Amino acid sequence: MRLGYFTMPVHPASRNPTETLREDREIIILADQLGYYDAFVGE
């Protein structure tokens, strides 16, 4: 079985967009290290 990761880039408007994208990227990298096969980011 292959696992995938999906996230929606929905963050509070008061947060720095660059920082929230960096956090999303770190989570995707962690998922890759844990053996997840795919990562999807919604619009």
Q: What is the pLDDT of residues 18-28, one digit of tens each?
A: 999 999 999 99
The two structure tokens encoding residue 32:
């890759």
Q: What is the pLDDT of residue 19?
A: 94
Instruction: Tell me the C-alpha distance between 18 and 16, whole Å.
Output: 6
User: Does residue 9 contact residue 21 with C-beta atoms inside 8 Å?
Assistant: yes
Q: What is the pLDDT of residue 9?
A: 82
Parent domain of 19:
4-41
Q: What is the pLDDT of residue 10?
A: 86
The reply to whether the predicted model has a pTM over 0.75 is yes
Number of structural domains in the chain: 1
Specify which residues 4 forms β-bridges with: 38
Q: What is the pLDDT of residues 1-43, one digit of tens each?
A: 999 999 998 889 999 999 999 999 999 999 999 999 999 999 8
